[in-house]
Structure 1
Amino acid sequence: MLAQRTEQVTGLGPMDIKFTNRLSYKQARLTVLVGFILGTLLSLIQIGIDYASEDASINREIQALMKISHDTASRIAYNIDTELAQELTGGLLKSPAVLRAQLIDNNDTVLADVQRPRLQSRYRPLSDFLFGEQRQFQDRLFLAHMPKDYLGTLYLDVDTYAFGGRFLDRAGVTLVNGFARSLVLTGILLALFYLMLTKPLVTVIAALSGNDARTPRQTRVDCPKGHENDEIGVLVRVANQQFVSMATEIQQRRTAENRLTQYLNELEDIVSARTDELKASNSRLSLSNQELDEARQRALDMAQARAAFLANMSHEIRTPLNGMLGMIALALDSGLAAEQRQQLSIAHDSGKVLVELLNDILDLSKFDAGQLELERIPFDLGAMVEDTANLLSQNAAPSVELTCLIAPDFPSTVLGDPTRVRQIVSNLLSNALKFTRFGRVDVRLSSIVGGVRLEVCDTGIGIPEEAQARIFQPFTQAGAGITRQYGGTGLGLALTRNLCKAMQGRLNIHSETGFGSRFSADLPLPTHTEAIPPAPLSGRVVALGNAGSGLAELLGQLLPRWGLDYTRHDSAAELAGSTVDLLITDDLDHVLDLRPGILAPILLVTAYGNFLPSEQAAQLAPLQQLARPLARNALYQTLRRTLLGEPSAPLPHEVPTSQALRARVLLVEDNPVNQLVAKGMLGKLGCQVQVAAHGVEALECLEQEDFDLVLMDCNMPVMDGYEASRRIRQGGRWPELPIVALTANAMPEERERCRAAGMNDYLAKPFRREELLALIDHWVPLSA
């Protein structure tokens, strides 16, 4: 590369540089340009001053001319001498600037009016632009001894070109002189810069071009005379130093190249040996990759087999569970002895526990397979927490107080997956109730930045610090003794933590052995609808009970915000002589002692299934009874009925008791037990049911009769539910007919498969009558 550069430099002669690229030309050009700009600015300033002077001279000269003619014109106007007026105006017209002269008397009689044409020139437009095309002057005529007597007016029209042409001539001379000075200055500076700068540099370039830095001898360039101490002398000294350094470096590089050639020969031998080793390694790596591909394929086959196994297991277990739970539910609706009802209730609860265990196992398998999908829809989280707590309250020990404490400003609805959030609430609450035998279990719900916080606090056995990390592992509890004493599978907390992570949330635990536990789940559920305060109430409400109870905390949080005058007392003796609109208590042991000393209505809050018998309730009339945990809406409606005397509102999804036809339903189901279960539930809901054992029979029924809803099982002989649904949609005769899938396959892809076949909704087995009623209310509303 160094040799190439040297050849390029030596091939460039000093006179090969273009004239416009030389330093002397560039420096002279810059100097002249600056001088030309400054000279032009000064010339323009001079022209501007001359213009102002010339513009003022027009008015001065014409005013002087009119002043000279004033007395003569005044006497002519006084004597009304037209002949003299003609002579005067003719004399004024001899001035080169005057185009027209006019003299009139005080009666507006024209005594003289003479004029001549304007001069024409190619520069006239520029003059007219600068000074105007023409100007008119007038002089009021009077005699010196009678200045107030008006005798007439002398008018003069002046052509400004006489002055403008003179100005333009001077301006042109000024500009030409400036340009000529710039040219002369350019030539002088160009010669000076060439002699002082370009010529010495050309000499140095010629000397450098004649030297070859590749030669081993040291070279030297002579400095031009007179430039030993200026920049050119410094340039020559630096060049001489560089020649010395380059010659030394070239010699060193030649030595290094010889050594490098020797190293390259040795390296070729090493590379050849290593190449043979790499070929052997590549052969072994190819064999390993083949084994890894085979292992990966086996893993995929195993995952598919596991998914198929889970789907089949879900179907095979849920189908008999649906029949068992459905039949038990139907039996519980019939007239039974107390002992039989208790036995069937225990069997029904055990079946529900088995369904929950199956759901937990399937959800964990979805996490492992990465198949869990989350919805994002608005739902009422507060009502969901209260409903879930109400369902699980039957699992609470008799001496445990279960309370739902929802912040008054908590949003009405939030955005998220209600099914998965309900699982979190249910698992945490079930865990707290299982390990708490005395005290309180509180479910708290509040808003935080970016979401909500769900807390479940209990006064149970607590969790040792060393076991707190272990309890989140599947099928693991705090200790073997826990499993023997309390039971359980150890799946709930593992699933809850996975659900929180899937929602981008966080699950925290704070626990101490013997003092209870607090599980806190922070979930990013944004607000969809802000809290809507209910209509205010009025009245005085008194609560009797312990200040540290959950009921006291709930009432103290809600009732004042509803506009009620609320106080709490430890005993009824403190109420002597006071007026009360409603008394609330949870003291079941002493509630009968309140009558007849207290005449106000009583609201008794009891544990699940612990209501007073009818004869005792009659002694306390007027009496309202609510089970723990108190729901906000139920408490509010009870207060409205008691304090305002309003009738009770119907409960949502209340099972109809009339015998009127609710809907005509086609049930497509091949399992005889499930047929009986569904027919029994639908019959109690006021529906007329037609049963078909498979898809072909269902199509025949649709051809013969009209139906409001089709409940379609998916796995059937002859024709399954997917094909039957596709045939119904392709037929075109029933485009608006709702088709709801009834399937025991709870895997996530099953819902999409049903929708792809043309089904409108999905209900997994085993299902409850409330779920079936909600489905009918949605697809066959009462107003239809």
Structure 2
Amino acid sequence: MLAKDRAQTTILVVDDQPAMIRLINSALQVGGFRVIFATSGPEALTLAQGAGPVNLVPDLILLDVVMPEMDGFETCRQLKNNPVTAGIPVIFVTGNNDENDETHGFECGACDYIHKPISPAVVLARINTHIQLTQLQSSLKDEVDKRTSKLNETLLQLEQSNRVKDAFLATISHEMRTPLNGIEGSLALMELSGAKTQYETPFNGAQESTSDLTQLIDNVLCFTEMQSSSLVLSPVKFSPAKLLKNLVARFDTRCKTKKIEFVTEIDLTMSLMAVCDKRRLRLIVQNILDNALKFTKQGKVHFSASLLDNDVNSHQAVMRLVVSDTGAGISSQRMDSVYTALLCERKNHEYEGLCIGLALCRFLVDKMQGTLQIDSDCVELNSDGDCVHGGTKVIIELPIDLLQELAPEMPDVLVEGVVGAGKASKILIVEDNLVNQLVLKGLLDRLGHNSQCVDNGKEALEFLNTETVDVILMDVQMPEMDGLETTRRLRQGVSTRSVPIIAITANAMSGDRERCIAAGMNDYLSKPVTLPGLMEKLSFWL
């Protein structure tokens, strides 16, 4: 025996024949077992639950088949249907050698059969075997339960660690985007003032570095959300042509620095408005273009954008993006791994970056219910099996919803920094960071608007009690009163109920835009704010 000795093991004998009970009892007494008896099925059901005069729950039941009132089959079936007694092993003891009866007994839940006339040695051997099996099962279940409990504790700890990690990354993102906004805005002011022409090389370097750092932060956050399955798409209205042309304009500067020819064909109408996740679309295009430039040492990169299935009577279309290069290419052996590798094999530090771009792009394209295809003509391999000459083409097709409305016209910023068309408006800047206040105010002054700055939501409410504005640029994380609560209170006021409020925030995780809109804001810009992005939002809401 394992957990119990025989004196502590209780056997319930169920038989309507006293002679058989005495015979089985004699064998069990020799074996040292504790024995209780029942002469009918109903009595057995009561005793098996620990009821009756003895109050003992049996460890095993020896059950006769042929009995009046309730036979052994029905008794066994009811035992197995009762959660209290379902785990007690049942051995049928019967003089019937019919094979069908044995099969029926096993179907009712019995674990064994002993045929009459019984052999005491066989009875003891069968009992010992099944008691040990039951105790082994119980021991195994206890061990499984213990390990499951420990695994659940570990899982909870991991989930907590993931929550801490996500919160930490969100904080890091916020704290990095805030100074980046100051840098980006300061560069835009320098460009508007004409300082770029005097310091073009360092200016372009600073602008490119700012863009790279912003994209790095976006990639890390998106990758984290991809790993935790927490990424949520945020569809917005925008002009795809304007977005893509702004992207390729910056990329063209990088290609010129590397002496790579950059050819673009954007076959999209500038006034076309569409709905999809603008921020994730930008991330996809940035990563695909970055990869093309990274792995192209000489030659050219070609980018094209067009609409497929553009039925004038339909509000849906497919946007096709194609990026091709004359770079190293991808060997067939490496093709599958480009989607899953997290870090580059930095041989001689030839390539920079986290190398998560294609994994992110594939995830985002799938999330947006599109397709991503990579074709590569690898014509030369090195000794490691890497492609060193060939070229790569990436084809992305994304479904988008088209809108009948036209994109608002954006005023042109002249070289001297004076804004062309557009009326002067009064704008309130609600921002606790002094540098960001100065940058936003400087940009708005250059755009021909009148602006006023306050440090937090509480001051914004006091200001708007006596003043009216055309637009509010609202930070979210601020002391005294944050932007969300400030917006909710403004929406309760009569004079501020319909004033456009644009969130300008360093909160850029999934759901942040939705929280701003739910609080009552009209639009959302994540830091660092670019001049084209700010102009687009103001042109729409003014």
**Quick check: TM above 0.5?**
yes
Partner of 1:774 in structure 2? 536
Paired residues in the alignment total 410
Which residue identity lines up with residue 165 of structure 2 in the other structure? R
Distance in 2 of aligned mates of 1:416 and 1:280: 56
Distance in 1 of aligned mates of 2:221 and 2:438: 27
Distance in 2 of aligned mates of 1:686 and 1:300: 50
Partner of 1:665 in structure 2? 427
Q: Does 1:722 align with 2:484?
A: yes
Distance in 1 of aligned mates of 2:226 and 2:508: 14
Q: Alignment partner of 2:525: what SS?
A: strand
Partner of 1:494 in structure 2? 359
Which residue identity lines up with residue 364 of structure 2 in the other structure? L
Q: For the structure 1 residues 691 and 522, does the alpha-carbon distance in structure 2 shift closer, same or farther, using more than 3 Å as the test? A: closer
Q: For the structure 1 residues 719 and 378, does the alpha-carbon distance in structure 2 shift closer, same or farther, using more than 3 Å as the test? A: closer
Provide Cα deviations, 1:525-555, integer angstroms capped at 9, x if missing partner.
Answer: 167489xxxxxxxxxxxxxxxxxxxxxxxxx
Q: Retained in 2: the 8 A contact 1:329–1:348?
A: no
Distance in 2 of aligned mates of 1:721 and 1:255: 78
Q: Retained in 2: the 8 A contact 1:378–1:528?
A: no
Q: Retained in 2: the 8 A contact 1:710–1:739?
A: yes
Provide Cα deviations, 1:293-319, integer angstroms capped at 9, x if missing partner.
Answer: 211210121111011101100111011
Distance in 1 of aligned mates of 2:447 and 2:268: 36
Distance in 2 of aligned mates of 1:280 and 1:468: 49
Kindly state the Cα deviation for residue 742 of structure 1 after the two structures are TM-superposed: 1.7
Provide Cα deviations, 1:298-342, integer angstroms capped at 9, x if missing partner.
Answer: 012111101110110011101111112211221232243845343
Q: For the structure 1 residues 421 and 694, does the alpha-carbon distance in structure 2 shift closer, same or farther, using more than 3 Å as the test? A: closer
Distance in 2 of aligned mates of 1:337 and 1:522: 36
Q: For the structure 1 residues 414 and 762, does the alpha-carbon distance in structure 2 shift closer, same or farther, using more than 3 Å as the test? A: closer
Kindly state the Cα deviation for residue 378 of structure 1 after the two structures are TM-superposed: 6.9
Distance in 2 of aligned mates of 1:438 and 1:275: 74
Q: Retained in 2: the 8 A contact 1:723–1:757?
A: yes
Distance in 2 of aligned mates of 1:529 and 1:658: 28
Q: Does 1:698 align with 2:479?
A: no
Q: Does 1:436 align with 2:436?
A: no
Aligned-residue Cα RMSD (Å) equals: 3.5
Pick from 260, 263, 285: which aligns with 1:425? 285
Pick from 170, 190, 203: which aligns with 1:344? 203
Q: Alignment partner of 1:731: what SS?
A: coil
Q: For the structure 1 residues 318 and 528, does the alpha-carbon distance in structure 2 shift closer, same or farther, using more than 3 Å as the test? A: closer
Partner of 2:135 in structure 1? 276
Kindly state the Cα deviation for residue 365 of structure 1 after the two structures are TM-superposed: 0.8
Question: Normalising by structure 1, what TM-score?
Answer: 0.47
Kindly state the Cα deviation for residue 385 of structure 1 after the two structures are TM-superposed: 4.1
Provide Cα deviations, 1:569-627, integer angstroms capped at 9, x if missing partner.
Answer: xxxxxxxxxxxxxxxxxxxxxxxxxxxxxxxxxxxxxxxxxxxxxxxxxxxxxxxxxxx
Partner of 1:310 in structure 2? 169
Q: For the structure 1 residues 702 and 354, does the alpha-carbon distance in structure 2 shift closer, same or farther, using more than 3 Å as the test? A: same
Q: Alignment partner of 1:278: what SS?
A: helix
Q: Does 1:366 align with 2:225?
A: yes
Kindly state the Cα deviation for residue 754 of structure 1 after the two structures are TM-superposed: 1.8
Pick from 393, 399, 402: which aligns with 1:519? 393
Partner of 1:503 in structure 2? 368
Q: Does 1:654 align with 2:416?
A: no
Which residue identity lines up with residue 283 of structure 1 in the other structure? D
Pick from 319, 322, 337: which aligns with 1:455? 322
Distance in 2 of aligned mates of 1:424 and 1:660: 33
Q: Does 1:680 align with 2:442?
A: yes
Give the alignment of 1:145-294 within 5 angstroms: 253=98, 260=115, 267-294=126-153
Kindly state the Cα deviation for residue 750 of structure 1 after the two structures are TM-superposed: 1.7
Which residue identity lines up with residue 534 of structure 2 in the other structure? L
Q: For the structure 1 residues 254 and 662, does the alpha-carbon distance in structure 2 shift closer, same or farther, using more than 3 Å as the test? A: closer
Distance in 2 of aligned mates of 1:335 and 1:376: 36
Q: For the structure 1 residues 338 and 734, does the alpha-carbon distance in structure 2 shift closer, same or farther, using more than 3 Å as the test? A: closer
Provide Cα deviations, 1:685-739, integer angstroms capped at 9, x if missing partner.
Answer: 1111111111111111001211111111111222222222222223344210122
Distance in 2 of aligned mates of 1:668 and 1:406: 37
Q: For the structure 1 residues 355 and 377, does the alpha-carbon distance in structure 2 shift closer, same or farther, using more than 3 Å as the test? A: closer
Provide Cα deviations, 1:414-436, integer angstroms capped at 9, x if missing partner.
Answer: 76433323322221122212333
Distance in 2 of aligned mates of 1:426 and 1:309: 25
Distance in 1 of aligned mates of 2:320 and 2:179: 38
Give the alignment of 1:333-732 within 5 angstroms: 333-336=192-195, 338-375=197-234, 381=240, 384-397=243-256, 399-405=259-265, 416-445=276-305, 451-473=318-340, 475-477=342-344, 479-481=346-348, 484-504=349-369, 505-512=371-378, 513-525=387-399, 528=402, 652-655=410-413, 657=419, 662-732=424-494
Distance in 1 of aligned mates of 2:199 and 2:96: 112
Q: Alignment partner of 2:285: what SS?
A: helix
Partner of 2:77 in structure 1? none
Provide Cα deviations, 1:199-244, integer angstroms capped at 9, x if missing partner.
Answer: xxxxxxxxxxxxxxxxxxxxxxxxxxxxxxxxxxxxxxxxxxxxxx
Partner of 1:603 in structure 2? none
Kindly state the Cα deviation for residue 283 of structure 1 after the two structures are TM-superposed: 2.1
Distance in 2 of aligned mates of 1:774 and 1:316: 25
Q: Alignment partner of 1:456: what SS?
A: strand
Provide Cα deviations, 1:263-303, integer angstroms capped at 9, x if missing partner.
Answer: 99565543322222222222222221221221121012111
Kindly state the Cα deviation for residue 670 of structure 1 after the two structures are TM-superposed: 1.2
Kindly state the Cα deviation for residue 521 of structure 1 after the two structures are TM-superposed: 3.1
Q: Alignment partner of 1:393: what SS?
A: helix
Q: Retained in 1: the 8 A contact 2:456–2:482?
A: yes
Q: For the structure 1 residues 518 and 384, does the alpha-carbon distance in structure 2 shift closer, same or farther, using more than 3 Å as the test? A: farther
Distance in 2 of aligned mates of 1:717 and 1:291: 42
Provide Cα deviations, 1:146-172, integer angstroms capped at 9, x if missing partner.
Answer: xxxxxxxxxxxxxxxxxxxxxxxxxxx
Q: For the structure 1 residues 253 and 475, does the alpha-carbon distance in structure 2 shift closer, same or farther, using more than 3 Å as the test? A: closer
Distance in 2 of aligned mates of 1:344 and 1:725: 37
Distance in 2 of aligned mates of 1:674 and 1:773: 16
Q: Alignment partner of 2:524: what SS?
A: strand
Which residue identity lines up with residue 304 of structure 1 in the other structure? R
Pick from 511, 514, 525: which aligns with 1:749? 511
Question: Normalising by structure 2, what TM-score?
Answer: 0.67
Distance in 2 of aligned mates of 1:335 and 1:384: 24
- Could you tell me the percent identity over the aligned residues? 32
Distance in 1 of aligned mates of 2:240 and 2:403: 11
Which residue identity lines up with residue 98 of structure 2 in the other structure? R
Kindly state the Cα deviation for residue 357 of structure 1 after the two structures are TM-superposed: 0.8
Q: Retained in 2: the 8 A contact 1:465–1:511?
A: no
Q: Retained in 2: the 8 A contact 1:463–1:478?
A: no
Higher helix residue share: 1
Kindly state the Cα deviation for residue 347 of structure 1 after the two structures are TM-superposed: 1.2
Q: For the structure 1 residues 390 and 298, does the alpha-carbon distance in structure 2 shift closer, same or farther, using more than 3 Å as the test? A: same
